[in-house]
Amino acid sequence: MGGNRDRLSRVVLKKDIKRRVLNGHPWIYDNEIERIEGDLEDGSLVDVFTFAGQFIGRGYINRLSKITIRLLTRKPEEIDTNFWKRRVIEALKNRYQLVKENAFRVLFGEADGVPGLIVDKFSDYLVLQVNTLGIYKRLESILPALLETLNPSGVFVIMEGSSIQKEGLEEQKYWIYGSGPELIPYEVNGIKFLADLKGQKTGAFLDQRENAKMLSQFAHGRVCLDCFSYTGNFGMHLLKHGAKHVTFVDYSERALAVAREVAKLNGFTNCDFVVANAFDFLKKLYGESKLFDLIVLDPPSFAKSAANRESAYKGYKEINYRSMKLLRNDGILATSSCTQVISQQEFENILVDAGTDARVVMRILHRGGQPLDHPQIYNILETMYLKFLILQISHL
């Protein structure tokens, strides 16, 4: 699957393509292609050239996708196990001391030169999120690279979601190497967690662990609400660092069942778990005039594309407005946005609007973002997605 010693099909781009591709972005859309020379199968490797004949790079093609080509390299090099091994070694080098941690992201798609592939490490196991046909067809050459560099006990593949269907693939989850538990134990910041292989994405979200650690310094003695909690990252950090009580809220019964197990593993008892839509739950609390000392908002992406920008704006404003009204004076609001569609400045503007309507003063205690293992590339704006703020909320 990984070899390309034979001459590859050529793809020639239109004369007036945007400089985005020439400046390092790996995506080539269907409307940027002038012509494809030679017969090929979707998922196969192609060489890409400018209209004038300049070599741009080598990647894989899928004509079923609007993003028709994803470039893997700017060199005419072979895409084989050695290539993938170099990518892994380079990514590990760029993670500095993080590689000593029990859990971290090994490969982050486009940001690590492997578009369509995400690899998370949980203790001795790797979980691969495969998003494209081109990556799926190369798993045979990718797997040895991961085994040689990381020596895992097991490797689990997850292929699900709308992107998989758009790629012409079927959703599936399976152990491609070895085997392991459905709930993989791992540790973050001295807290025991469980990655749920039947859960979302790779089973756990590692991108907020540094933000949760930062928030935990405000935990002591506080009554806390963790909305959109999933399996409990933020709330467990708060409990570990002396929170008086944490209420976990999520719409997924399974996620909260896992969160209960996580609480048991760590010996946390001063918490409760509520299966509910966070929007509805915040409204209900407002009606009951129940107040908290600290509220965490870590919602899923409200906007997958620019078409959803307006609804995302309304969603972020509503949950932040309601949370501000539910905080005691000088309470703490930790709030996030994980969509690239909303910029840092736009997100902060939303918070200002919410604060104006709630009649509060907002003091910024901390601005956070993505950890080193979720690298951000200025040339690829899609890699820059996570916004996180810790605010002190004072009522006027």
Sign of CA dihedral 68, 372, 125, 336: negative
Strands 125-130 and 117-122: what pairing? antiparallel
Going by DSSP bridges, is the β-strand pair 271-275/292-297 parallel, antiparallel, or unpaired? unpaired
Q: Which residues are catalytic?
A: 338
**Residue 355, amino acid:** G
* CB of 255 closer than 8 Å to CB of 219: no
Q: What does the alpha-carbon distance between residue 44 and residue 133 come to, in Å, rounded to a whole number?
A: 9
Exposed e or buried b for every residue in 305-340, given b needs 16+ CB within 10 A? eeebeeebbebbbebbbbbbbbbeeebbbbbbbbbb
Phi, psi dihedrals of residue 136, rounded to the nearest 5° = -55, -40
DSSP assignment letter at 381: G
Compute CA distances 209 → 44, 104, 354, 373, whole Å: 37, 10, 26, 11
The alpha carbon of residue 90 and the mean position of all alpha carbons in its chain are separated, in whole angstroms, by 20
CA angle 116/122/127 to nearest 5° reads 30
Go through 26-39 and write b for each residue having 16 or more CB atoms within 10 A of its CB, e for each that does not.
bbbeeebbeebeee
Give the C-alpha separation, 332 to 323, whole Å: 10
Tokens representing residue 52 in the block: 């004038």
